[in-house]
Amino acid sequence: MKGHERAGAVLSIAFAACALVACSHGLQKSEPSARVYNYDQAPPSQALHARGGITPEVNFVKMSDGIALRVAKFAPPTGMTPRATLLAVSGTGGTVEDLQGLATLLAQQGILVFGADLRGQGLSGRTDPDPQKINVDPRVHPADMACVIKKLVAPQQAGPLVILGHSMGGAAVVYGLASGTLVPDAAILLAPALGMPGVPLQGTGANVANTMTSLISTWLGINTYLPGQDLLQRPFRDPTPQNLLSRNIPALRERLDNMQREPRLRSYGVTWGWFSDNLRMMQALARLSARSISMPTLLVEPNDERVVDSAQSRRTCATTFTQCTRKTVDGRHGLTAELPTTVKTLAGYIRSFIDSLQPPFAPGAPASLRQAGREGPGGQRGPG
């Protein structure tokens, strides 16, 4: 039995065991609170400050359900005409602070960058008061991004509109493209979470995983933490080489310090409801028909990936995008917070990719707005 098959078998057994424990305790399903918890009236994050001559401008964009998403604008230096507009979102537990190094380099090169905290993360709004929980169905993120484009990005757009997603943000971007919720001029995927090692996405194993996660999230409660949360927190609490999400130890320590000073930024606890919904999204993406998205796309992967299934990402991109360019950089999964040399290389790839885009571009109102008018969480579930 191969390594990934053994991992899948162990995972299925673990799901079954947890389901039996949940049922034996007779726990009832817990529903998320209908109350909205926003940070738009709270003090700004002290972790987000001027770097390299680029001062981020923070906005809060309201979704139709009242959730306010934090969006930071990184504009090119005064007097420099933007060559393109980029909306960037990070992965699970990620925040605008994680994107700042890359966004600053791109802004210095004439790219207007907007970095957004996904709902339930960073200083964007949530429906659960616990800032350490990620309890959001990731399939709502594309409609949120479309709303940010409509209300904030499009009125300031210059050149082509490009959407960038890292890790879970990358999966949400692909989901939005496949569903038609997002239709930018181009897309950039950084280590997208289109599959997880040992987690079956098709066939009998996928059906078993779906059934088990549904049972567990129903009986334990969708807002209950998965076991093993220590594994998620360890890279920030103990950033030693074996625990690194990136090789940039000073950056990891800075993020740890930020989270200790500002507990609002500590949104990295994965719940059963999030995992169940995320699994369904990845399985839907794995079922995409060949050559379904005709759009210039850049896929960037680290050469030392330890979090997502890179092979699944390559398969999905190869069969889904007709114009996919693939690049590899020296680093681990946390690409946007990697060593300065890696981030500089990454920025160079992005700049070259953007410069290769051919007009015409929709001036001031990108093609995405034809469908992006469906603002708010939307519930536009797309494929699957």
On the 0-12 / 13-18 / 19+ scale of CB atoms within 10 A, 364 is exposed
Please state, in angstroms and rounded to a whole number, the distance separating the CA atoms of residues 14 and 209. 10
Query: Is 325 part of a structural domain of the chain?
Result: yes
Q: What is the pLDDT of residue 380?
A: 39
Across 128-143, b (16+ Cβ under 10 Å) vs e yields: beebbbbbbbbbbbbb
Query: Is 348 part of a structural domain of the chain?
Result: yes
Q: What is the pLDDT of residue 278?
A: 86
- Report angle CA 215, 218, 221 to the nearest 5 degrees: 130
Query: Is 384 part of a structural domain of the chain?
Result: no
Count of structural domains, the chain = 1
68 beta partners: 62
Query: Is 313 part of a structural domain of the chain?
Result: yes
Please state, in angstroms and rounded to a whole number, the distance separating the CA atoms of residues 70 and 131. 15
| Nearest by Cα to 136 from 40, 17, 284, 37 | 37
Q: In terms of residue numbers, what domain contains 222?
A: 49-359+367-372
Query: Is 34 part of a structural domain of the chain?
Result: no
Regions in the chain scoring below 70 on pLDDT:
1-34, 228-243, 266-268, 289-291, 362-384
Query: Is 178 part of a structural domain of the chain?
Result: yes
For 30-70, what is each residue's pLDDT tens digit? 444 468 999 988 888 888 989 999 999 999 999 999 999 99
Q: What is the pLDDT of residue 30?
A: 41
Query: Is 300 part of a structural domain of the chain?
Result: yes
Residue in the block written with tokens 């987000």? 48
Q: Are 194 and 4 a contacting pair, CB within 8 Å?
A: no
Residue in the block written with tokens 């200790």? 260
Please state, in angstroms and rounded to a whole number, the distance separating the CA atoms of residues 68 and 58. 12
Q: Are 335 and 346 a contacting pair, CB within 8 Å?
A: yes
Query: Is 104 part of a structural domain of the chain?
Result: yes
We report the CATH number of the domain holding residue 288 as 3.40.50.1820
Q: What is the pLDDT of residue 183?
A: 92
